[in-house]
Structure 1
Amino acid sequence: MARVVRFHQYGGPEVLRIATVDIVPPARNEVQIRVRALGLNRAEALLRRGTYIETATFPSGLGLEAAGIVEAVGEGVSTFAPGEAVSIVPPVSMVRWPAYAELATFPAELVVKHPPELGFETAAAVWMQYLTAYGALVDIAGLARGEVVVITAASSSVGLAAIQIANRIGAIPIAVTRTLAKKSALREAGAAEIIVSDEEDLRSRLADIAGSNGVRVVFDAVGGPAFEPLTAAMSPGGILIEYGGLSPEPTPFPLGNVLGKSLTLRGYLVHEIVRDPARLARAKAFILDGLSDGALKPIIARTFPFEDIVAAHRFLESNTQVGKIVVTI
């Protein structure tokens, strides 16, 4: 028996319930962990509200990131043993592999022995943000030393990870945030320049920063009307990688900029990295090296106990945090 978080209908944070259920042993090629910490992601709020790319099956579990201790291994698993500290690469389906639980089971290929000095709370804040940012900036865009990269929703965990990865490469991260309140935190996180979009003209500020060469790489989680000024600041042959679509407003297609500059607008989900063993192996090596050398340092906005999962989700949806929200068990 173990406690798990479930919801029986779509809705706000209040639909989340903690229940005690029987937990089956891990099947072949599975690893079961006793969870010590969870990393929260916006995707979980979208699943809870019924607006995610995956459909819940009620009563539904949820959760994409966890860290803890191996409890048991299934047949065919030889790389992990009970008692080892591990963290989880986000599975493609959180309905099939939900993380919000005292005991959670995952495919062995998604389990990672993280550096022990991280601790469980920090380890639970690693994989979604750094895999997402690595996949976009390094794997797809091939961001190079000295290049400018524009990062929107920069105070999110993925935005902060993108800033750190850009700095590790030697690129120049330009952070875009809506409010002045997060400017100093973004500066401390390593942003070379910060644009406050509610108070500054995005197009003119980008032109001032990028100059006549423009920006080759844009990493965007927002969409909406910002597409026009973002693409206006891009260099010929540039690539805009869209991974979120947070704006409630329509996203216009910037036809003139796309045609005139031969731009690539690229949709992206971290799933394409997770599904590809070779790409995932390269990503894990880059991230583990960055954690070891100190270039990659997860920023935790706030920690909640498991019993306060509803409050944690309310904070997640407040959009006031800088960094990752973690839940401890």
Structure 2
Amino acid sequence: MIVWLNGAFGAGKTTTAYELLDLLPGSTLYDPGLIGAGLRRMLPKERLGQIDDFQELPSWRRLVVDTAAALLSEVQGPLVTPMTLLHREVRDEIFGALASRRIPVRHLLLHATEAILRDRIDQRAAADGESARSWCLRHLEPYASALPWITAEAHTVDTSWLTPRQSAERVASAIRAGAGAVDIVQTPEPTAETVASGVLLFDERDRVLLVDPTYKPGWEFPGGVVEPGEAPALAGVREVGEELGLRLHGEPRLLVVDWEPPRPPGFGGLRLLFDGGRLTAGDAAALLLPSAELRGWRFVTEEDAAGLLPPVRLDRLRCALRARRAGHPLYLEAGVPVG
């Protein structure tokens, strides 16, 4: 298990984490910041110049998960992890990958008022330096912006007037009570190429339905991996039923077959998109989302989708809409039509 202590800089995450080690038998401190520091020493300056924070590095996010799994093969656990997560996409990628490794996460927010955070940051300035102080202060506004989604998920411990020991005691008590458990889909990581089927569903204005997964960054089409021995079209129908509570009648029409090349750590495979037809307003109102897998849905135009989908999925969508208008499917390789 991982006890993830989230919060702004100055909330007391690290000091609370050290105190927590005494209260959770077998626990070990796991600081992903050390991974970031190591990457800063190893990556070329040109790459580092492209980012403002090591959390932007895909290698950091991957190594956070791989290192956690490696540590839990060496120690009893839990791992106590003091690390700020302000971007929901980063949270989705890391927590989703941990779930695929069957590593449970307890997400706790150590919160303090802005006045206290500023005071603590000022007190640390003598030791950390003015540049560190300025960096911490710049992150107070992003922290305030992230509070709505963090507090909706994490168990909050107000550390404003607590000592690190008192904060740790409250965290330990919350852990024992089961607080902060991250309920997320547990799909095993692929070990080889996969076939996945997505289904495009449209409203009466021909906008396409996208869903927001809890286990990976970015929006997605309803659908999932085809199970062994399962027909891809029926897999799409099954996934729509499981994800949205919607029963499709008949097999959907094929729009796109896209060969996705392997890009480590991904294995690639075939990605199919089907036309699931139009939904009425009543159909849309009756959609049901499994909270452990999806947190939201919306109908979007192609222009809207450009701000939600990762590039590879956006290319796939554009080709699928083109195929739908033309009335025949398209074959793609890495998102590019062939033939």
Q: Between Structure 1 and Structure 2, which shows a larger proportion of strand residues?
A: 1
Q: TM-score, normalised on structure 1?
A: 0.27
Q: Between Structure 1 and Structure 2, which shows a larger proportion of helix residues?
A: 2
Q: TM-score, normalised on structure 2?
A: 0.26
**Which structure is larger by alpha-carbon Rg, 1 or 2?**
2
